[in-house]
């Protein structure tokens, strides 16, 4: 059985077999953090949505920039909480913002003519080299939202619309329930 020492050194957690090793681990993390802070954060902007990708102790994270409608100061929120490399954090931010931009452009309106695949490719192009898997996932998700909105328009409640749009149940299941 090996003993592991966990401590906080200068505000940074560290681990090791001895106190010296645990302090050295924390010091290495501090060095990485200081080095990361010296790098510039990256901005990902799609439509009216903005994310800041910033270096972190173990890689990079992103946060969304919220612009309150009341004119108060913008603030950061949302985004990733698990560390990733800078390219992965940019990819995640771009995917998240593309999803939000689609909602802004399409979901809230009746403009359903949008070619989802082309829209996703166009949004992601500046940030992601291999867009195909992300585009496929986004299009699948957006198809769900399209089905859900159509079902809500038909008069199905939220629960029924989710189940039908998600393929869990059929419309006829609910028609039979309401008839009984």
What pLDDT, in 10s, does the model give residues 141-164? Answer: 888 988 898 899 899 999 999 999
What pLDDT, in 10s, does the model give residues 73-131? Answer: 766 777 766 667 888 889 999 999 998 888 776 655 555 566 888 889 999 999 999 98
Q: Name every residue whose Cβ is closer than 8 Å to that of residue 46 and which is 6 or more positions away in sequence.
A: 94, 97, 98, 100, 101, 123
- Please tell me whether the overall predicted TM-score, pTM, comes out greater than 0.95 for this model: no
pLDDT of residue 180: 46
Residue written as token pair 């006829």:
172
Q: What are the structural domain ranges in the chain?
A: 1-38, 39-179
Residue written as token pair 């909105």:
149
Q: What angle do CA 60, 62, 65 make, to 5 degrees?
A: 150
């Amino acid at each position: 059985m090996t003993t592991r020492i966990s401590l906080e050194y200068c505000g940074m957690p560290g681990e090791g077999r001895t106190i010296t090793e645990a302090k050295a681990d924390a010091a290495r993390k501090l060095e990485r953090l200081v080095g990361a802070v010296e790098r510039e954060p990256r901005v990902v902007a799609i439509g009216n949505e903005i994310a800041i990708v910033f270096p972190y102790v173990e890689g990079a994270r992103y946060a969304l920039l919220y612009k309150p409608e009341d004119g108060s100061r913008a603030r950061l929120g949302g985004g990733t909480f698990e560390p990733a490399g800078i390219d992965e954090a940019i990819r995640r931010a771009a995917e998240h913002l593309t999803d939000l931009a689609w909602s802004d452009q399409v979901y809230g309106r009746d403009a359903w003519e949008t070619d989802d695949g082309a829209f996703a490719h166009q949004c992601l192009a500046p940030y992601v080299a291999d867009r195909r898997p992300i585009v496929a996932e986004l299009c699948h998700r957006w198809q769900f939202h399209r089905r859900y909105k159509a079902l809500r328009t038909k008069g199905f409640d939220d629960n029924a619309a989710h189940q039908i749009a998600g393929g869990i149940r059929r419309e006829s299941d609910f028609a039979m329930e309401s008839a009984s």
